[in-house]
């Protein structure tokens, strides 16, 4: 095989260059020739190399000579060069698929996995020599991707302090917490095979470092058992996933709170409850995992309910919001399998959800009868005349599932039925009154529901996410509206455990 080498052109303050650097470090670890060129000054370059623990040589590009010669438009750009310095491949920006293809070209195993918390792709920044020049000094670069965080400080209380009062006041969410003593945090860390200072994620909107140690301290406070660390690590990555957009979810004036949905064998292994009272206070695993996530969001993410979290009315789920799917009472594929994981894989899913809206239907005897009741609750999600921009989770109770399944409905049939039967009557728009969703009606699709002309509520059947949960007595289901959905809002994310 001809000797290929990789050259990366980088800027020290470009977030995408920082995002790609740990992957270049991995590529540099296996006799692969990796080098980089920094478009910035010596001080900034040295600081970048130190912060990012760069493991390949980085030289500078005075006068942007090399950048101009390569006609770089975007940083980062990766060049695979042959022994005569001819370009074999070039790749601007960050793209996991491209990184793995380049790794293969260099004879290296894949370096990017789908569930490491980083997006699948991200555009880069303008090459420095093409930038609009300003006279101002550059702002300090945000450090969002260095692999190691600071060690947590230790707090020694004075003998006169009340331990529980101190922790409640300094670290709590408005309820008392278990004091995060050194011994308890060490026990929590004992089960995790990572360095305590490894940064698992940076939590929006303030991007506090969720090191393993900080996650463990917050998990202790929430009352988690040490075994919960194996769930909290992927959960921290999931909540910081750009697609979930915690930056927006945590700062919005809307009701949304991150709902955790647990699937797979971990439910039995750690005691997650999926039956009666699934949304409430029935199981330590559900309650403490939900609260640990909230404490991580508050204490590391920085969106406190009297500050950056601007929710007008809030959401009781901000104390703890964690359910497990009742896979045993479901005849269908569970949520995580629909999200692309193996059924035997344990998983956590996050959805930015409103509080559950109950749907009672004890008298319907058919799938159609039950699902019509659900569709009327779905029709008013967000605001009654707003269509297309929102999603919903439908939690179907086991008794409703039995009736629906008895009529031969697959999960896709359920979704299709709800999609086709959820709409807003055209007469709701005829009073001339301005309101949410009215100005957008030109984009809506007109359908007929039971003979009445309506606008279709949802963009596609996939906007309706179906989960089976709850007790086997009581013919109830629930509808949970979303925050702004899709790539411009928050998207559901599922991570393997």
Partner 1 sequence: MPTLVNPMNERAPQAAPAAPRLATLQGKTIALLDISKPGGSIFLDRLERLLKDRHQVAQVLRAMKPTFAKPAPADVIDKIRAADAVIEALAD
Instruction: State the residues that interact with partner 1 by CB under 8 A.
Output: 14-15, 123, 125-126, 131-132, 134, 136, 139-140, 150, 152-159, 161, 163, 167, 170-171, 179-183, 185, 203, 206, 208-209, 213-214, 216-218, 220-221, 245, 247-248, 252, 295, 299-302, 439, 483-484, 488-490
As to burial, measured by CB atoms within 10 angstroms (0-12 exposed, 13-18 middle, 19+ buried), residue 243 is middle
The alpha carbon of residue 466 and the mean position of all alpha carbons in its chain are separated, in whole angstroms, by 19
CB of 465 to partner 1, least distance (A): 19
Q: Which is nearer to partner 1, 159 or 451 (CB)?
A: 159
By residue count, the chain amounts to 497
Nearer to partner 1 by C-beta: 320 or 326? 320
Report yes or no: 300 and 218 within 8 Å, Cβ to Cβ. yes
- Write out the DSSP string of 358-413: EEE-SS--SHHHHHHHHHHHHTTSSSTT--SS--EEEEE-HHHHHHHHHTT--HHH
- Max Cα distance, the chain (Å): 78
CB of 72 to partner 1, least distance (A): 15
CB-nearer residue toward partner 1: 226 or 496: 226
Minimum CB distance to partner 1 smaller for 157 or for 443: 157
State how far the Cα of 388 lies from the Cα of 274, in Å rounded to an integer. 30
* Least distance CB 372 / partner 1 (angstroms): 32
Q: Is 422 exposed, middle or buried (0-12, 13-18, 19+ CB in 10 A)?
A: buried
CB of 484 to partner 1, least distance (A): 5
For residue 146, the minimal CB distance to partner 1 (Å) is 11
**208 strand-pairing partners:** 203
246 vs 323, which CB is nearer to partner 1?
246
Q: In angstroms, what is the minimal distance from the CB of 472 to partner 1? A: 39
Residue 95 CB, shortest distance to partner 1, in Å, is 16
Interatomic CA distance for residues 424 and 411, integer angstroms: 24
CA-nearest of 358, 354, 356 to 475 is 358
57 vs 435, which CB is nearer to partner 1?
Answer: 435
**Residue found by looking up tokens 């009736």 in the block:** 403
Residue placing its CB nearer to partner 1 in the complex, 23 or 483: 483
| Angle value at C-alpha 360, between 356 and 364, nearest 5 degrees | 140
Q: Give the integer Cα–Cα distance in Å for 74 and 72.
A: 6
Cβ neighbourhood burial of 5 (10 Å; 0-12, 13-18, 19+): middle
Least separation in angstroms between CB 220 and partner 1: 8
Please say which residue, 81 or 386, places its beta carbon nearer to partner 1. Answer: 386
């Amino acid at each position: 095989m001809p000797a290929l080498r990789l050259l990366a052109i980088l800027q020290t303050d470009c977030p995408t260059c920082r995002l790609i650097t740990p992957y270049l470090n991995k590529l540099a670890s296996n006799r692969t020739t990796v080098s980089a060129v920094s478009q910035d000054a010596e001080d900034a370059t040295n600081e970048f190399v130190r912060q990012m623990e760069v493991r390949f040589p980085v030289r500078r590009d005075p006068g942007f000579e090399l950048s101009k010669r390569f006609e770089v438009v975007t940083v980062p750009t990766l060049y695979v060069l042959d022994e005569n310095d001819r370009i074999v491949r070039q790749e601007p920006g960050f793209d996991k698929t491209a990184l793995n293809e380049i790794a293969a070209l260099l004879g290296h195993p894949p370096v990017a996995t789908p569930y490491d918390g980083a997006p699948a792709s991200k555009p880069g920044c303008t090459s420095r020599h093409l930038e609009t020049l300003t006279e101002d000094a550059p702002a300090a670069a945000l450090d969002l991707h260095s692999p190691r965080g600071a060690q947590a400080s230790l707090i020694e209380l004075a003998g006169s302090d009340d331990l529980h009062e101190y922790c409640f006041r300094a670290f709590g969410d408005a309820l008392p917490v278990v004091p995060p003593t050194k011994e308890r945090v060490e026990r929590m860390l004992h089960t995790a095979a990572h360095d305590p200072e490894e940064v698992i994620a940076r939590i929006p909107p303030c991007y506090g470092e969720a090191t393993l140690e900080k996650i463990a301290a917050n998990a202790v406070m929430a009352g988690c058992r040490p075994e919960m660390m194996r769930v909290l690590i992927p959960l921290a990555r999931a909540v910081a996933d750009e697609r979930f957009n915690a930056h927006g979810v945590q700062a919005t004036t809307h009701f949304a709170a991150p709902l955790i949905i647990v699937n797979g064998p971990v439910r039995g292994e750690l005691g997650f409850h999926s039956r009666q009272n699934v949304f409430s206070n029935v199981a330590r695993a559900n309650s403490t995992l939900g609260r640990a996530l909230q404490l991580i969001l508050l204490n590391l993410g920085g969106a406190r309910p009297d500050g950056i979290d601007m929710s007008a009315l809030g959401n009781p789920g901000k104390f703890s919001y964690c359910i497990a799917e009742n896979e045993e009472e479901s005849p269908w594929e569970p949520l995580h399998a629909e999200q692309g994981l193996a059924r035997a894989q344990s998983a956590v899913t996050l959805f930015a959800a409103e509080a559950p809206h109950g749907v009672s239907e004890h008298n319907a005897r058919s799938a159609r009868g039950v699902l019509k009741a659900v569709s009327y609750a779905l029709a008013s999600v967000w605001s009654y005349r707003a269509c297309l921009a929102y999603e919903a989770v439908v939690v179907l109770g086991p008794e409703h599932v039995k009736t629906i399944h008895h009529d031969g409905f697959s999960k896709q049939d359920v979704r299709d039925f709800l999609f086709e039967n959820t709409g807003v009557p055209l007469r709701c728009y005829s009073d001339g009154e301005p309101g949410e969703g009215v100005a957008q009606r030109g984009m809506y699709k007109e359908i007929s529901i039971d003979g009445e002309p309506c606008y279709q509520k949802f963009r596609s059947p996939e906007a309706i996410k179906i989960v089976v949960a709850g007790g086997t007595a009581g013919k109830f289901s629930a509808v949970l509206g979303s925050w702004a959905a899709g790539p411009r809002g928050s998207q559901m994310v599922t991570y393997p455990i």
